Amino acid sequence: MASDKIHTIVLAAHLDDGVLSCGGLIYQRTQAGEGVLVATVMAGDAKGGPSDYAQSLRDRWQLDTSAEAQRRAEDAAACQVLGAGYLHWPIPDCIYRGGADGTMYYQSDNEIFGPVHPGEAGLVADVVALLRSLPGAEQIVAPLTVGNHVDHIFVRQAAEQVFGQRLSYYEDYPYAQKKGSVQAVLETTGQEWQATVYPLSEAALQAKIEAILAYRSQFSTFWTDRADLERQVRGYAESVGGERVWRKA
């Protein structure tokens, strides 16, 4: 990191969320000499063999039995591009979590973007305990939960318990690209929100794109090729004026 003192902590559910959503801001902060830490909550190894659904994702990602270790290495490389520090916590991704009887909680795309499984009622408390171990920072940024991914929901709920009104929220990218998706999340709370837009320099946009390219396993999920990635990232940045972060008024 550019500084031993941490100015900003970006809370990510998965090993790409923070960079996808805040990569430009992270780069500009580190270039200004401010320390940034990207803390990923669901970065742990699978316990036991993957379900058919989890294996289908690994096949798409072209990852073998060391999938989680490879994804952690990708995140480390991405953070290095941006000059940020990183922290990987041991909770497994939702696709690897299940009950004592071996039944997996989330076995389809619909389920990972659907309601939280009742068997996971205690997981927020586990995330709260991890968040309480973080060092002090001037700004804490958590997922707004655009897209309604269950892991993003866990991280946001835990972060709100720990940091309360201090918390800022990033627009979960690329889910935030869907027209009306950000506003839909804001409206569900019944509260007033205030946005801060961080304009991105050309250097910051280029660094963000290079950092995203470090997530080789995830590339085919969102983009067809590098030109498509650049078009989407630049297009969204242009539409919001850079990267946008929200706070409850």
Of 28, 129, 45, which is closest to residue 83 (Cα–Cα)?
Answer: 28
Cα 83 to Cα 30: distance, rounded to the nearest angstrom: 6
Fold of 6-248: Rossmann fold (3.40.50)
- Residue 218: how many other CB atoms lie within 10 Å: 18
Residue ranges per structural domain of the chain: 6-248
Task: Identify the band that residue 114 occupies on the pLDDT scale cut at 50, 70 and 90.
Answer: confident
Task: Identify the band that residue 21 occupies on the pLDDT scale cut at 50, 70 and 90.
Answer: very high
pLDDT top residue among 64 and 210: 210
What integer pLDDT is reported at residue 38 of this predicted model?
Answer: 98
Q: Kindly report which listed range (34-38, 64-68, 164-168, 198-202) carries the lowest average pLDDT score.
A: 64-68
What integer pLDDT is reported at residue 4 of this predicted model?
Answer: 72
**Whether the predicted pLDDT of 78 surpasses 80:** yes
Residue labelled with tokens 């902590």: 9
Percent of the chain at pLDDT > 70 equals 99
Q: What is the mean pLDDT of residues 99-103?
A: 90
* Backbone dihedral angles phi then psi of residue 166, each to the nearest 5 degrees: -70, -15
pLDDT digits (tens, 9 = 90+) for 28-38: 999 999 999 99
Beta bridge mates, 235: none
Task: Identify the band that residue 23 occupies on the pLDDT scale cut at 50, 70 and 90.
Answer: very high
**Whether the predicted pLDDT of 97 surpasses 90:** yes
pLDDT digits (tens, 9 = 90+) for 219-235: 989 999 999 999 999 99
**Whether the predicted pLDDT of 205 surpasses 60:** yes
CB 53 within 8 A of CB 191: no
What integer pLDDT is reported at residue 48 of this predicted model?
Answer: 81
Residue labelled with tokens 């409850």: 248
Q: What is the mean pLDDT of residues 88-94?
A: 97
Task: Identify the band that residue 3 occupies on the pLDDT scale cut at 50, 70 and 90.
Answer: low
CB 151 within 8 A of CB 41: yes
Q: Kindly report which listed range (44-53, 67-76, 168-177) carries the lowest average pLDDT score.
A: 44-53
Average pLDDT, the chain: 95
Task: Assign 3-class secondary structure to 65-114.
Answer: CCHHHHHHHHHHHHHHHHCCEEEECECECHHHCECCCCCECCCCHHHHCC
